[in-house]
């Protein structure tokens, strides 16, 4: 009976051991890849990152690199443990996907190079030092808010208001700097375009359905899905609620158009990860950071979803590309 009493503990220990990274080889570089949460769109960044490494000769199949992947599943304590473990293992570099992963890595190491993706510029992450300088070990591909102007500006051009003024609904996470920053910028843009913003806060994806329904009950004309991890994680819930009320979704994130939003002008998530991977490969070749630094995202796309546009009888400009 004592054997069975301790079985759960044994299984737990086995689980922990199985998740522990393989011992680091002296000649094969080790990459610690940190994902903050599980999401179909965000996962494209990891694919892009590893594809860039492969192109430059760093392939797990050929045993020229060892990529240790961990996903925190949206749990902050787990995210901290993952980063702490990679730091203790002294991986050659950290690859961080989304803001939470990048900020946690910055807090935990000043020496291991961090190649960030799907993350904002240092100012928006609030990681500048007292002299206004970004962390010396921060690299990768980052984004500012300039593209949101174009993303938001297309809505009044494509949609007529039900009443006298266009009303656009948004949800935002108060704990995410990029989410609140985006909201403030959009409010400023809306004032100039005679558009009303109806915004409600939420703390987790579990609240998404309730908060979205509350917005829809206020007779909004459209929903704007801003750059927010909670929006990414709960997008299907948001989409279902909006479609039931015949409210189109616009966004600044190209990946969400593939999942059902009408249109966007924003970064291609795969290419975002690929760009960060190119930098990481350069570092792995030389083990030097000379000439490297945080870069702005290079590839942005104007895209639209043909099914969504047809559903809402929206004619999209010819310079927008249909997603596959």
pLDDT tens, residue by residue, 256-295: 999 999 999 988 899 999 999 999 999 999 999 999 999 9
Instruction: From 92, 179, 171, 90, select the one nearest 139 (Cα to Cα).
Output: 92
SS3 310: helix
Residue with tokens 């409600």: 200
On average, the pLDDT of the chain sits at 89
- Within 8 A by CB and 6+ apart from 202, the residues are 171, 172, 173, 208, 211, 230
Q: Is pLDDT of 41 > 90?
A: no
Across 198-223, average pLDDT: 92
CB 120 within 8 A of CB 143: yes
Residue 199 or 14, more confident: 199
- Within 8 A by CB and 6+ apart from 180, the residues are 172, 173, 174
Q: Is pLDDT of 24 > 60?
A: no
Across 132-160, average pLDDT: 92
Instruction: From 305, 324, 292, 20, select the one nearest 139 (Cα to Cα).
Output: 292
- For 89-139, write each residue's pLDDT tens digit: 999 999 999 999 999 999 999 999 999 999 999 998 999 999 999 999 999
What's the chain's length in residues? 324
* pTM for this model (two decimals): 0.82
Q: Is pLDDT of 176 > 60?
A: yes
Residue 6 or 129, more confident: 129
């Amino acid at each position: 009976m004592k054997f069975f009493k301790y079985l759960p503990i044994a299984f737990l220990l086995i689980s922990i051991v199985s998740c522990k990274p393989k011992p680091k080889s002296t000649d094969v570089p080790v990459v610690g890849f940190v994902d903050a949460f599980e999401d179909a769109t965000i996962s494209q960044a990891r694919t892009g990152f590893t594809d860039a490494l492969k192109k430059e000769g760093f392939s797990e199949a050929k045993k020229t690199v060892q990529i240790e992947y961990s996903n925190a599943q949206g749990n902050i304590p787990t995210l901290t443990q993952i980063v702490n473990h990679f730091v203790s293992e002294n991986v050659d570099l950290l690859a961080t996907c989304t803001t939470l992963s990048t900020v946690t890595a910055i807090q935990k190491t000043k020496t291991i190079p961090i190649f960030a993706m799907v993350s904002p510029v240092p100012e928006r992450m609030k990681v500048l030092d007292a002299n206004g300088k970004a962390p010396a070990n921060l690299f990768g591909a980052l984004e500012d808010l300039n593209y949101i102007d174009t993303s938001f500006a297309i809505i009044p051009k494509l949609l007529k208001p039900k009443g006298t003024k266009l009303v656009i609904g948004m949800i935002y996470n108060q704990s995410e700097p990029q989410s609140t920053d985006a909201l403030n910028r959009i409010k400023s843009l809306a004032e100039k375009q005679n558009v009303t913003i109806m915004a409600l806060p939420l703390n987790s994806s579990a609240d998404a359905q309730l908060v979205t329904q509350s917005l829809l009950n206020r007779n909004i004309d459209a929903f704007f899905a801003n750059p927010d991890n909670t929006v990414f994680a709960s997008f299907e819930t948001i989409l279902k609620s909006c479609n039931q009320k015949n409210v189109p979704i616009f966004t600044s994130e190209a990946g969400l158009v593939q999942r059902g939003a009408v249109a966007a002008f924003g970064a291609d998530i795969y290419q975002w990860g690929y760009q960060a991977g190119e930098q990481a490969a350069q570092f792995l070749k030389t083990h030097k950071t000379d000439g490297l630094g945080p870069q702005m995202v290079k590839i942005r796309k104007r895209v639209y979803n043909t099914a969504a546009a047809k559903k809402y009888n929206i004619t999209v400009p010819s310079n927008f590309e249909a997603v596959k």
